[in-house]
Amino acid sequence: MRVLDGIQFFDDEQKYLKMYEYEQDHEQTKKLTASSLVSYILMRSICDDAGLIQEADLNLKAVCKKMNLPYSSIHNGFHRLFEIGLLVIERIGERTYIKLPIVAAHIPNAEDNEVSGYFRIPNSIFNNSLLRDFIKSRDVRGLLGLLDLVNGLYRNWSERRGTILKRKKETIIAKLKQSKYAFRKWLKLVLYGKDSLIEVKNENNGIFELKFSEDAFTERKRDEAYEQFNATVRNTLSSLLRSSSIKYTNVELNDLQFACQQELTSPMYRAILANQNAEKLVKMVIADVLDTSVNTVEKSASKVKVLGAFFRKTLRIQTRIALKDEKPLRILIANTFRNEDLVVPEQFL
C-alpha cells in the first residue's frame, strides 16, 4: 500500500506562522527567518507527541548532518525560535525539555479528547537540497507557500484519495505576497525544481494541476486504526514516564516504546480485531498495566542495568497479573495467535 509518511503539522501551527510573518510587526531579532522556519520544521520532526525534546539528548550538529542541513544557519534559527516564543525551556520532574508550545497546546486530554486538524509534510523534504535552497535565498514566504500547497495536497489525498490539486496561479501569487521576480524563482524551486515535493501534472489557462512527487510516498502495509491505537498507548506511556522520577535518554525512550508495542499494544490489539466489544476492556487493562509497570520500574530504578530489557520483563509480568482475573480476554488473545500457528506469548497463556 502506498502511504504518505511525514511530519505531523497542526493547522493552527501553519496559521500562526503565516500570521506571524504577514500580519505582525516585530523587532529585528524576532522576525521569522528562513533558517528559523526550517529549524522549526526540524524540531517538529524530532519532538515527541507532546511537543517535547529532552534537552540533554539534542545534538543539533549531529541532527543537521543527518538531515542534510547547514549547522550554522540552523544554530542561528534555533536560537531565534526561543526569541520568538516558538520554543521554550520547561522543567518536568528532574528533566529539562525543549517544548514546542503550539504542539503541547493540542494534546488531547480528558476534557477535550478531539484530535486537532493536521497535515503531514513528507519526510522526503530532508532528502535533498530543497530546505537548504530556501535558507540560501532567505525566502520565508516561499517556504510558507510550500507548506500551504502541501496542506492542500495532503488533505486531498487523505480525505478523498485524490491525487490532483488545482490551484490558480493568481491565487498563489496573492497568498505569497511576493514580487513577480521572487515568484518566478519560487516556481522554479517549488514546482519545477529537481528536488521538489510537488510536481506539475498540467498547466493551462493560469491553472496548475499539482500532485505529490513519487519520493513523498512509501510502499508498506498500513492499518490506520492500529496506528491510532498505538499512538494513544505511546502517549499514555510518555505521560507516565514524564511524571515519574525515572531517568532515561531518547534512545532508551525509543526502547521503552518499542517494548511496549511488542509486548503489550500489538497483542492486545488482536482482541479488538477478533471482537470489537473487547475494546473498552482492552483499554482498561493496558492503562492498568502501564501504570503498574512504570511504578515498578521507578521503585527499582537504582538496581536497573538495562532499562529497556527490565521494562520489557516488567510488562510481561504485569500483563499476566492483570489478565489473571480476565480469563475470557486472555483466551481470546491466545486464540488469535493459535489461529495463525504462532507461538502464544507467555503472558497470555
Task: Read off the pLDDT of residues 252-271 as tens digits, 9 standing for 90 and up.
Answer: 888 899 999 999 999 999 99
Distance from C-alpha of 70 to C-alpha of 117, rounded to nearest angstrom: 31
Distance from C-alpha of 334 to C-alpha of 17, rounded to nearest angstrom: 50
DSSP secondary structure letter of residue 123: G
Give the β-pairing of 218-219 and 2-3. antiparallel
Whether 228 maps to a domain, the answer reads yes
Q: In this model, does residue 107 exceed pLDDT 80?
A: no
Q: Calculate helix-pair angle for 266-274, 327-339, nearest 10 degrees.
A: 90
| Residue 203 phi, psi (nearest 5) | -135, 120
Tell me the per-residue pLDDT of 13-68, one tens digit each, with 9 for 90 and over: 999 999 999 999 999 889 999 999 999 999 999 988 788 898 988 999 999 999 98
Q: Confirm if 320 and 346 have CB atoms less than 8 A apart.
A: yes
DSSP secondary structure letter of residue 86: S
Do 236 and 323 sit in the same domain of this protein? yes
Whether 280 maps to a domain, the answer reads yes
Tell me the per-residue pLDDT of 184-230, one tens digit each, with 9 for 90 and over: 999 999 999 888 889 898 888 889 999 998 888 877 666 788 888 99
Whether 264 maps to a domain, the answer reads yes
What CATH code is carried by the domain that includes residue 35?
1.10.10
Q: In this model, does residue 92 exceed pLDDT 70?
A: yes
Do 304 and 230 sit in the same domain of this protein? yes
Whether 163 maps to a domain, the answer reads yes
Distance from C-alpha of 17 to C-alpha of 23, rounded to nearest angstrom: 10
* Strand partners for 147: none
Distance from C-alpha of 297 to C-alpha of 83, rounded to nearest angstrom: 38
> b/e for 209-225, b at 16 or more Cβ within 10 A?
ebbbeebbbeeeeeeee
Grid coordinates representing 160 are: 478523498
Whether 1 maps to a domain, the answer reads no
Do 238 and 295 sit in the same domain of this protein? yes
Please, which pLDDT band fits residue 275 given cuts at 50, 70 and 90?
confident
Do 187 and 236 sit in the same domain of this protein? no
Q: In this model, does residue 115 exceed pLDDT 80?
A: no
Q: Which of 168, 201, 219 is the last residue of a domain?
A: 219
Do 257 and 311 sit in the same domain of this protein? yes
Domain of 326 in residue numbering reads as 224-348
Do 110 and 126 sit in the same domain of this protein? no
Whether 232 maps to a domain, the answer reads yes
Distance from C-alpha of 330 to C-alpha of 281, rounded to nearest angstrom: 11
Specify the residue for cell string 511537543: 51
Q: What is the pLDDT of residue 111?
A: 60
Q: What is the pLDDT of residue 295?
A: 94
Do 183 and 241 sit in the same domain of this protein? no
Distance from C-alpha of 182 to C-alpha of 139, rounded to nearest angstrom: 9
Whether 2 maps to a domain, the answer reads no
Do 110 and 34 sit in the same domain of this protein? yes
Do 281 and 303 sit in the same domain of this protein? yes
Whether 179 maps to a domain, the answer reads yes
Q: What is the pLDDT of residue 20?
A: 95
Q: What average pLDDT score do residues 81-100 get?
A: 92
Number of domains comprising the chain = 3
Distance from C-alpha of 310 to C-alpha of 164, rounded to nearest angstrom: 49
> b/e for 134-169, b at 16 or more Cβ within 10 A?
bbeeebbbbbbbbbbbbbebbbbbeeeeeeebebee
The CA dihedral of 183, 146, 193, 77, to the nearest 10 degrees, is 90
Do 203 and 309 sit in the same domain of this protein? no
Listed residue (50, 35, 38) closest to 100, CA to CA: 50
Q: Which of 161, 194, 219 is the last residue of a domain?
A: 219
Please, which pLDDT band fits residue 108 given cuts at 50, 70 and 90?
low
Q: What average pLDDT score do residues 276-295 get?
A: 91
Q: Which of 192, 219, 246 is the last residue of a domain?
A: 219
Sequence letter at residue 192: Y
Q: In this model, does residue 161 exceed pLDDT 90?
A: no
Note the pTM of the prediction, 2 decimals. Answer: 0.73
Do 157 and 252 sit in the same domain of this protein? no
Q: What is the pLDDT of residue 322?
A: 92
Grid coordinates representing 17 are: 506562522
Do 300 and 332 sit in the same domain of this protein? yes
Specify the residue for cell string 499512538: 231
